[in-house]
């Protein structure tokens, strides 16, 4: 995890003190039930108020096919006992995994991946033990080589004006390898779900991120019906995750910001899955720069004194004419190390095809042939305006265009911290102005760090969880 995490952010609904994705709900409150994935064995944990926890995990019959099994806990998730009549779902597939369970009216629904068959199975159960196959979802959109980590989520739909309409369902599928830029990526399908069958609105391949480091995301449960779902993803790519030099700073891997999400429709493109940061007020620090109605020129922000090495920024462009704007008119940003001259950069061209780009090739701490360094996407403004916001968090960059209609997530590895931000407005025609704000972000690790600067977490919880996983592995 990068230096600045988000544990001090406003509490994400449905969380439990053992580990932030653990929900704590009575089974009668089934609308607030959820499952937690643990990467090693795809363990899914459902924590109940009466301290009866069910865990759905892949009983990896080695050798043999993968099957779905149950384990339960009566002490809040510290110890697990395998269900005596496992497995609860048989299969003949060697890649039958990543179950995700939700509640739909009076029954449970599981979406689970037949990974090599490029199929998502939908199962139903009245009790989490007796499961019936209901339907399959297969072969639309971008196929890739394997399908993983499915999610089926009731999603808010907002029209072009931002007004909430009827809710829809969204099926998210992670593919690896086979992403357009290589490796792993998540695609999504807006559609309808009737409790047994999911029907996508079309067969279009829609990619969740314009970058390369947003994968296998999951949703928090327990969010109120009138709020947007909250999503968090693994910020890496299977093409280079095991080679990335994150161990130099004594961490391994990172997660994206928790993000609010909803569906909308946009001009020309149609359906879009919108992502925007969850409430960041609790970690928002001092204002480093604030400019209203800025024209051509640049703004330089030195944030070397910010302990977290993390900043948030936003820029809003207004007065964009419909015609006659130069293809060179642009709003650009660059993060630079004054010590090594390393950098990452991005920007938006207001004219032409309205292209946004990211470039992480100026960071020199990692060399890998699969570490794609440049990314781009078209991003149309509305009513003569366009907006961008983002977070730089030491070695990860997340950007949100037009309120999150498009988002980009990239990791980068400089040999020295980037501590200068330069915003450059160039070739803007008369009447076009840019409003800019840059804020420091507080380090939410600060209160939990040990003397060596690392965060070790709850050691007893960690050790007991490890013992239980080993016990389950011996059992299967």
Output the six-digit token pair for 440. Answer: 């420091």
For residue 224, the model assigns a pLDDT of: 87
For residue 467, the model assigns a pLDDT of: 43
DSSP H or E segment with residue 462: helix 459-475
Cα 212 to Cα 232: distance, rounded to the nearest angstrom: 15
For residue 449, the model assigns a pLDDT of: 76
What residues contact 112, with CB distance under 8 A and at least 6 apart? 68, 89, 96, 97, 98, 99, 100, 120, 121, 123, 150
Q: Reply yes or no on domain 284-444 having CATH 2.40.10.10.
A: no
What residues contact 236, with CB distance under 8 A and at least 6 apart? 213, 215, 244, 253, 254, 411
DSSP state of 128: S
Cα 292 to Cα 154: distance, rounded to the nearest angstrom: 39
Output the six-digit token pair for 438. Answer: 């840059």
CB 179 within 8 A of CB 190: no
DSSP state of 306: -
Structural domain spans, the chain: 30-278, 284-444
pTM for the full predicted model: 0.84
Output the six-digit token pair for 154. Answer: 């009731």
CATH architecture observed for domain 30-278: 5 Propeller (2.115)
For residue 51, the model assigns a pLDDT of: 37
For residue 69, the model assigns a pLDDT of: 82
pLDDT digit of tens for each residue in the chain (476 aa)?
333 333 333 333 333 222 222 232 333 333 333 333 332 333 333 322 233 455 565 665 555 678 888 877 777 667 777 778 888 898 888 888 888 989 999 999 999 999 999 999 999 999 888 999 999 999 888 889 999 999 999 999 999 888 899 999 999 999 999 999 999 999 999 999 999 999 999 999 899 999 999 999 999 977 888 899 999 999 999 999 999 997 776 777 889 999 999 999 998 889 999 999 999 999 999 999 999 988 899 999 999 999 999 999 999 999 999 888 999 999 999 999 999 999 999 999 999 899 999 999 999 999 999 999 999 999 999 899 999 999 999 999 999 999 999 999 999 999 999 999 999 999 999 999 999 999 999 987 777 777 776 777 655 443 434 444 343 333 33
Cα 261 to Cα 228: distance, rounded to the nearest angstrom: 6
What residues contact 202, with CB distance under 8 A and at least 6 apart? none
């Amino acid at each position: 995890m990068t230096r600045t995490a988000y544990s001090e952010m406003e509490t994400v609904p449905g969380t439990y003190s053992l580990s932030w994705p653990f929900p704590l709900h009575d089974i009668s409150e089934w609308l607030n039930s959820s499952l937690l994935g643990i990467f090693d064995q795809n363990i899914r944990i459902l924590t109940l108020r009466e301290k009866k926890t069910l865990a759905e995990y892949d009983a990896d019959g080695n050798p043999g096919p993968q099957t779905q099994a149950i384990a339960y806990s009566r002490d809040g998730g510290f110890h697990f006992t395998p269900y005596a009549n496992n497995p609860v779902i048989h299969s003949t597939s060697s890649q039958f995994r990543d179950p995700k369970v939700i509640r739909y009216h009076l029954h449970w629904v599981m979406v689970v991946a037949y990974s090599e068959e490029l199929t998502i199975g939908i199962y139903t159960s009245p009790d989490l033990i007796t499961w019936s196959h209901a339907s399959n979802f297969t072969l639309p959109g971008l196929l890739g080589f394997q399908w993983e980590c499915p999610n089926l989520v009731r999603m808010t739909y907002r029209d072009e004006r931002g007004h909430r309409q009827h809710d829809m369902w969204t099926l998210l599928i992670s593919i690896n390898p086979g992403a357009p830029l290589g490796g792993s990526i998540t695609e999504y399908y807006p559609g309808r779900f009737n409790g047994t069958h999911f029907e996508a609105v079309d067969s279009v391949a829609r990619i969740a991120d314009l970058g390369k480091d947003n994968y296998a995301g999951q949703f928090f449960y327990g969010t109120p019906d009138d709020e947007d779902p909250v999503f968090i993803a693994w910020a890496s790519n299977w093409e280079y995750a095991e080679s990335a030099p994150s161990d130099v700073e004594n961490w391994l891997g990172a997660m994206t910001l928790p993000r609010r999400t909803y569906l909308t429709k946009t001009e020309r493109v149609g359906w879009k899955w919108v992502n925007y940061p969850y409430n960041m007020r609790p970690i928002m620090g001092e204002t480093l720069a604030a400019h209203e109605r800025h024209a051509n020129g640049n703004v330089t922000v030195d944030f070397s004194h910010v302990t977290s090495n993390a900043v948030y920024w936003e820029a809003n462009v207004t007065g964009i004419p419909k015609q006659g704007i130069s293809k060179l008119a642009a709003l650009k940003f660059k993060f630079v190390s004054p010590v090594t001259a390393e950098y990452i950069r991005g920007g938006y061209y207001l004219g032409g095809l309205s292209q946004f780009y990211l470039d992480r090739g100026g960071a020199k701490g990692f060399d890998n042939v699969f570490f794609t360094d440049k990314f781009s996407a078209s991003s149309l403004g509305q009513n003569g305006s366009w907006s961008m916001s983002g977070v730089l968090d030491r070695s990860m960059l997340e950007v949100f265009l037009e309120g999150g209609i498009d988002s980009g997530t990239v990791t980068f590895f400089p040999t020295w911290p980037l501590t200068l931000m330069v915003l450059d407005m160039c070739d803007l025609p008369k009447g076009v102005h840019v409003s800019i704000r840059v804020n420091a972000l507080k380090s939410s690790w600060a209160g939990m760090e040990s003397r060596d600067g690392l965060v070790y977490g709850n050691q007893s919880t960690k050790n007991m969880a490890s013992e239980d996983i080993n016990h389950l592995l011996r059992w299967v």
